[in-house]
Amino acid sequence: MTLLSYEFMQIALLAAVVTGLTAPAIGTYIVQRRLALLGDGLGHVALTGVALGLLTGTSPLAAAVVVAIGGAVVIELLRTYAKASADVALAMLFYGGIAGGVFLINLSGNSAATLNRYLFGSITTMSRADVILVVVLGAAVLLASIWLAPQFFALSHDEEHARVAGVPTRVYGMLIATLAAVTIAVSMRTVGLLLVSALMVIPVAAAQQLRPSFRGTHFLAMGFGLFSAVAGLLVSAAIDAQPGPTIVLVALGVFALAAVFRGAKSLRRSPEVPRG
Amino acid sequence: MSAGTMSATGPNAAIITASDVKVTIDGNEILRGIDLEVNPGEFLGILGHNGSGKSTLIRALMGLQRFTGEVSLFGTPLADFKERNRIGYLSQDINHTTGVPSSVMEVVLSGAVANHRWSGWPSKTERAHARELIESVGLGEHARRPISELSGGQRQRAHIARALVGHPDLVVMDEPTVGVDAESLDILAHILKTELDRGTAIVMVTHELGAVRELVNRTITLEAGLVCDTCIDVKDLHAPGLQEHHAEIHGDSHTDQPAHHAAELDVRPVVTEGPLQ
């Protein structure tokens, strides 16, 4: 494919690989902790970071990483210490994030087209410096999500048990939220801030149709994420569509296939009735 | 350390020492001053109605609930206690039917995380031990199945195996028998017997002792956040004719409490001392 000989396309492809692997790698823990919408919220908050970057003439990516991490810390603190009122407080944080982001982008003199690129992804806007940051941060997320898998699993599966076992649940809860924030920021050029959370959830939902274990789901989800991101990017480049929606539609297609496959499989072995 | 509050065995030998434990949640006094001691090899049953504070008490002992008063585990104040691998904990109402599937093996093995609190993967020995435990709770053929596909009793057995995988010296269980079938109850009793023979101390919160009645050394009954020293204890439960009386006092109905219980609620009672059997 001649498209691949362009440097912007190589950069976009590299970013898609990182996004496809990291979003489900951390997303599996997020889904297990029943925080599937956390990514959405962090995406909204990260937009304010992008706007601050554009306004101050610094890197929107670096600013988004910093602001999203700040948002993750606030969200975890609210969840831990203000359980009863956390719901509304979180909602306000998310609305504030997106309102502040759009407001500041307008203020910085950037157009709706610029905003659109950050919300739904774009394959042409990433610099070499950006992609280096994406690869480094993505590798860190990937490494942590695999290296700390036993602790993250214990925490995500049964937080109270993990606390009694002496796992530093507050620190690791915060770390998971922080890694999610980093993932969202590094994925925004590929899938965009409004859809990045889909790539943390849909590949996991697809993989759990086919795997009976957490570990199996974790790795298969990364495989599905990688396929969706790369295939979606290539299709979007070929038909000149925005990459974010294309990637998410591919991921949904993978999910539909997995669900059909599972349905067919359970029909075939229907005599074995699950107990309980 | 609150020395000298409890039994003749002395505080150094105790696995759990608690003194004047009080918990207030949203202005409600859930625990109003509990003294407690658990010694090595002892099986303590904590009885009481719904809302009597028994779950709150063991959550406080495990560091899951803020409290005032003093708690020591293995002679170390709770705040400084680090040997988490010495505790096997089974919480109430573990329901993991949603979320990402987790196999029975993964769940049981997660009990070994107390040996790898900050990082690290389970060792070969730990894996082998987890497999043995899964066999011994009768789930051998289900080891690779998602735990969400098991029955309530089977799930509970898996969680008991998880509590035991780190070779604990203390096992703490919150209502492990609720909604559990007869086969699972027998397996639970057998497993706990093996643990007691190893010298493990067991603390179990329950509505009714049921299948483990014969194993229990001592019970305390909580009532309105205090230890009730006039409530029927386990020794009396073994005596014929008294079981009906117990059912009357400890049944789910709160309406027909004997009057003397209410009268004595403000008196600060003490823990029933020593083994009863």
Give the β-pairing of B170-174 and B201-205: parallel
B174 CB burial (10 A radius; 0-12, 13-18, 19+) = buried
Name the minimum distance, in Å, from the CA of A166 to any CA of chain B.
6
Q: What is the ipTM of this complex?
A: 0.89
B106 CB burial (10 A radius; 0-12, 13-18, 19+) = buried
Name the minimum distance, in Å, from the CA of A6 to any CA of chain B.
39
- How much is the pTM? 0.86
pLDDT digits over B150-197, tens only? 988 899 999 999 999 999 999 999 998 887 888 999 999 999 999 999
pLDDT digits over A95-146, tens only? 999 999 999 999 988 888 888 999 999 877 788 888 999 999 999 999 999 9
Round to whole Å and give the CA distance between B13 and B39: 7
Give yes or no for a contact between B84 and A133, defined as CB atoms under 8 angstroms apart. Answer: no
Question: Testing the interface with B: which of A170, A214, A219, A222 to mutate, by most B Cβ within 10 A?
Answer: A214
Confidence tier at B263 by pLDDT (50, 70, 90): very low
Angle formed at CA B47 by CA B17 and CA B5, multiple of 5 degrees: 25
Choose the weakest-confidence range: A86-90, B64-68, B210-214. Answer: A86-90
Q: Looking at the partner chain, which of B102, B120, B122 has a beta carbon nearest the beta carbon of A214?
A: B102
Q: Would you list which residues of chain B are within 8 Å, Cβ to Cβ, of chain A?
A: 62-64, 82, 84-85, 87, 89, 91, 94, 96, 98-103, 105-107, 109-114, 116-122, 144-146, 149-152, 154-155, 162, 166, 172
Whole-angstrom CA distances from B192 to B17, B43, B57, B155, B261 are 22, 9, 21, 17, 32
Round to whole Å and give the CA distance between A45 and A64: 8
B76 pLDDT exceeds 80? Answer: yes
3-state helix, strand, coil in chain A (%, to 5): 80, 0, 20
Name the minimum distance, in Å, from the CA of A125 to any CA of chain B.
35
Round to whole Å and give the CA distance between A170 and B255: 42
DSSP B200: -
In chain A, which residue's Cα lies nearest the Cα of B145?
A: A212
Query: Which residues in chain B are contacts of A275 at CB distance < 8 A?
Result: 149-151, 154
Side-chain-side CA neighbours of residue A264 (13 Å)? 6
Q: Looking at the partner chain, which of B91, B100, B151 has a beta carbon nearest the beta carbon of A214?
A: B100
